[in-house]
Structure 1
């Protein structure tokens, strides 16, 4: 296991697997820590990896972090096998330490109403309401929403094309209230367009007051602002609206596979965590299930 091996692996994750920078950086960090711990990097066996895991426990790493580190190591050795540089994966039979399931934080329906039923007074209010409506209407991740372009919107069909993790694309419905807010924002958006804009910026759906693409941090700050203004009892993070979307959809529909598809989860187990939040009713499809859907009057 050399530095060159790690560089080749990281290059593979970036260029072949299209992993995000955050994910790639996590792999790189984990492998550097592992390589530093292992004394004989020429021949690594399962016992070496087990000792490494035990060491990470001793120094206070939590189970979730160790899970990720072991997954990084396992994936690295699978890559070595794929490159025909290794015959067997020394990490394949090691047990990943179990971690307790962390239930997602959500926003209840009363607070959703407080947050979304305000009347915008300015163009930026229109933008912020469109952002919050879209988070809750379609269950988008923060990075998915901030990267949206005008071309990804199809308001006439009440659909939006989303680019998620690993550059995977999916099409999700957009609710009636979100469509109304988006249309109002699109009318106001023109005042923030500038002649000096490059083509990429011109296509961005959400712009700042300065006419630049609204960043992830900018969106987070606006949600914090509205949580205070609407007297919510807690801070508001973008993922809380995504979680609320998932919980409300599952509560009303009970269709785990459909919600998995809407959220863009690769594994059903990721979606299943929402089933622990007391679901009760059954419904047919998205438009009947979601409280702010297109087909509801």
Structure 2
């Protein structure tokens, strides 16, 4: 199994959003949800409209049970993510039933993991991303940017349900060279 990388460049992230938006709001939302929540693709694709919409309003918090771990998790949506969900539901899913998948395929069920991979990989190539990208890159991108923004590593470890901080560092793609550079900056 080949390891995928986080998307480390904000400009490439914005380019991917524009490319995906050109395809559909669904594809842009899939990407945006992944990089802003750290959810696994299996949990994202399992979402139903009723999970994100209560009393005709987009929820700010989502409670779910992770498919992989079986653990409960509370996920908060940023205001930007909430606005995108609202726009998507109003423009592309206006007559959808609340029990339908949030990310509907042309065949009627939820889009598959393979199709999500294809969508993201195509957009990454158009955006000029040359690293290996997959559906797991969304989760890794979330972790990477949380780390770069100074969020405590223990918090990121908890958000990603990792067993150690070393695992989290490897997961988000922090290299030995980056750790060496951090130590060299101290130079007391």
Instruction: Tell me the TM-score normalized by structure 1.
Output: 0.50
Which residues in structure 2 correspond to 1:15-34 (within 5 Å)? none
Compared CA separation, residues 149 and 143, structure 1 to 2 (3 A): same
Residue 111 of structure 2: SS of its match in structure 1?
Answer: coil
Which residues in structure 2 correspond to 1:159-174 (within 5 Å)? 159-164=61-66, 165-174=68-77
1:189 is matched with which residue?
93
Alpha-carbon shift at residue 234 of structure 1 (Å): 4.2
Alpha-carbon shift at residue 180 of structure 1 (Å): 2.3
Compared CA separation, residues 168 and 112, structure 1 to 2 (3 A): same
2:185 is matched with which residue?
none
Compared CA separation, residues 183 and 266, structure 1 to 2 (3 A): farther
Q: Deviations over 1:51-85 (max 9, x none)?
A: xxxxxxxxxxxxxx9xxxxxxxxxxxxxxxxxxxx
Which residues in structure 2 correspond to 1:116-155 (within 5 Å)? 116-118=17-19, 120-121=21-22, 125-153=24-52
Task: State the alpha-carbon separation in 2 of the partners of residues 119 and 267 from structure 1.
Answer: 34
Q: Deviations over 1:141-185 (max 9, x none)?
A: 111111112233267552222432232120122223322222122
RMSD: 3.1
Task: State the alpha-carbon separation in 1 of the partners of residues 123 and 81 from structure 2.
Answer: 17
- Tell me if 1:105 matches 2:8: no
Instruction: Tell me the TM-score normalized by structure 2.
Output: 0.74
- Whether the aligned pair in 2 keeps the contact of 1:189 and 1:207 (CA below 8 Å) is no
Alpha-carbon shift at residue 209 of structure 1 (Å): 1.8
Compared CA separation, residues 219 and 275, structure 1 to 2 (3 A): closer
Q: Deviations over 1:63-119 (max 9, x none)?
A: xx9xxxxxxxxxxxxxxxxxxxxxxxxxxxxxxxxxxxx986121222112112458
Which of 61, 78, 92 is the matching residue for 1:175?
78
1:255 is matched with which residue?
152
- Whether the aligned pair in 2 keeps the contact of 1:138 and 1:262 (CA below 8 Å) is no
Matched length: 171
Task: State the alpha-carbon separation in 1 of the partners of residues 5 and 20 from structure 2.
Answer: 26
- Whether the aligned pair in 2 keeps the contact of 1:126 and 1:185 (CA below 8 Å) is yes
Point out where structure 1 has 5 or more consecutive residues left out of the alignment: 1-64, 66-101, 281-297
Residue 240 of structure 1: SS of its match in structure 2?
Answer: helix
